[in-house]
Amino acid sequence: LSGGFKKAWDKLSGVQQLTQENIKDPLKDIRRALLEADVSLPVVRQFVKKVESKAVGTKVIRGIRPDQQLIKFVKDELLDLMGSERAPLEDPTRRGEPQVILMAGLQGVGKTTACGKLALHLKKQGKTVQMIATDVYRPAAIDQLRKLGEQVDVPVFEMGTSAKPADIARRGIQEAKKKKVDCVIVDTAGRLQIDDDMMTELKNVKKAVKPSDTLLVVDAMTGQEASSLVKSFNTDIGITGAILTKMDGDTRGGAALTVKEISGRPIKFVGVGEKMEALEPFYPERMVSRILGMGDILTLVEKAEESIKLEEAEELQKRMMEAKFDFNDFLKQYEMMTSMGPMGNMMKMMPGMGEISNKQMEEADRKMKQAKAIIQSMTPKERENPDLLSSTPSRRARIARGSGNTEEEVSNLVVQFTAMRTKMQDMTKMMQLGQGPGMQD
Ligand code: GDP
Ligand code: MG
């Protein structure tokens, strides 16, 4: 997968504006990568369309590379899809009634295990919990829940295998109310495939317990069938969210995306193992990283996001355009860059930058530090008025002494700075004449 995304990246380097044409291939790669992560096809289609419409026409500015910009759209859109906030359980508003959580899902996905995990989770919040066993098709299913109940020290209500699930559920709730239990978790039977019997039974159980949450338990490995699965359960039963299990495996968990997009309901928890402790809240950010699986590239985008305050960058850009760029701006730009970590690390993370040697990077780092020291030895007036330095050797001599550099080094910086500014001015003029394509150097 990560190979796919890297390919998409390389195609974009050097581009100044995202267009339908130049993001076509990268989007194809992204589409393929999402399918590989088991995101359902209709969801992928919708997703790629959204990213495209957002990205096209975007100018690449603010120190972010075009490929970063596209990947940021992808990331934001993924986050958006999964819900940027963590989704808690519903707060039951009916006073004096217990919080009831109903589990639903196919057989073997981890419903019963999730009941135990959730029971432990709620207990840790200081709540009293009771579980109800309504899977009457196998005696082993009731035993399983009872054992889990013992493990987490939560009582299990059951009536053997001869009662009807809805009746067991109703009686279980009565019992919980009598005992003034805070939370009730209702385990149900699943089938290998969606069928009417299962849905009817679930509907009846739901009616009997009036849950505050109905959680669809989904195996993270569910592939393309996730979208019809989610659709059926949501249409027939109505869900308030989902638990994505078996995320401890090496699956990319594309089903997470499908659940949210198809049902509009969030993933509330993630199962990460067979133990009762192996339940986590759902962190959309982590899931995005997992689905993208881009390691370094994603880290780079995150760092860029943290460090580059947009207004600051915009202001800087404006000053460049107006040719007001002075040593203060230069310093600011430097600080923005260094707040992202040493230059060397930054450049190593850039795809295609592998050929830059350590020595070259050290040299670039050293140059930047030297420039900073020199600028810091300037008076405020000199920083605002770089021309003062071009015209007055005695100023350069003073700055050299103050910063511990030679006069030649100071002169070099001033010459470089002036050349850069002239270039900016030329470019601005060109753009004002409508000839310039952009910020190429
Ligand atoms: P149910 O049929 O939906 O009730 O599924 P179970 O709760 O009986 O779980 C089926 C199998 O999946 C059991 O062997 C569980 O131990 C296992 N399982 C459940 N959740 C997880 C999980 O998050 N990670 C892993 N690795 N295994 C899990
Ligand atoms: Mg079960």
Q: Is 281 helix (H, G, I), strand (E, B) or coil?
A: strand
Count H helices and E strands in the chain, helices first: 20, 8
Identify the structural domains of the chain with CATH numbers, from first to last: 2-85 (1.20.120.140), 99-282 (3.40.50.300), 308-432 (1.10.260.30)
Q: Is 109 helix (H, G, I), strand (E, B) or coil?
A: coil
Residue 333 pLDDT: 74
DSSP 59: B
The H or E element that residue 132 is part of is strand 129-133
> What's the ipTM?
0.99
CA neighbours closer than 13 Å in the CB half-sphere of residue 235: 9
| pLDDT averaged over every residue in the chain | 83
Mutation pick for ligand 1 pocket among 113, 156, 277 (CB with most ligand atoms within 8 Å): 113
Say which range, 28-42, 250-264, 327-341, has the weakest mean pLDDT.
Answer: 327-341
Ligand nearest, relative to CA of residue 116:
1
Q: What is the rounded distance in angstroms from the CA atom of residue 377 to the CA atom of residue 10? A: 41
Structure confidence by residue, pLDDT tens digits, 60-73: 655 566 666 787 78
Q: What is the rounded distance in angstroms from the CA atom of residue 383 to the CA atom of residue 372? A: 12
**Candidate ranges 27-36, 126-135, 305-314, 382-391; pick with highest mean pLDDT:** 126-135
Closest by CA position to 33, among listed 350, 246, 273, 298: 298
Give the confidence band of 294 by pLDDT, cuts at 50, 70, 90.
low
Structure tokens at 308: 């580059």
Sheet hosting strand 156-157, strand order edge to edge: 156-157, 129-133, 183-187, 99-104, 213-219, 241-245, 267-271, 279-281
Q: What are phi and psi of 279, to 5 degrees?
A: -130, 130
Instruction: Give strand ranges (E) for 158-210.
Output: 183-187
Q: List, as ranges, residues with CB under 5 A of the ion ligand 2.
A: 111-112
Residue 397 pLDDT: 94
Residue 436 pLDDT: 44
The yes-or-no verdict on residue 292 having pLDDT over 80 is no
Residue 2 pLDDT: 45
Give the confidence band of 303 by pLDDT, cuts at 50, 70, 90.
low
Residue 105 CA: which ligand 1 atom is closest?
3
Residue 103 CA: which ligand 1 atom is closest?
3
Task: Ligand 1: list residues with CB < 6 Å.
Answer: 105, 107-113, 190, 217, 245-246, 248, 271-274, 278
The yes-or-no verdict on residue 264 having pLDDT over 80 is yes
Q: How far is the CA of 275 from the centre of ligand 1 (A)?
A: 9
Q: What is the rounded distance in angstroms from the CA atom of residue 76 to the CA atom of residue 27? A: 15
Give the confidence band of 300 by pLDDT, cuts at 50, 70, 90.
low
The yes-or-no verdict on residue 157 having pLDDT over 80 is yes
The DSSP string of 301-320 is: HHHHHHH--HHHHHHHHHHH
Give the confidence band of 18 by pLDDT, cuts at 50, 70, 90.
confident
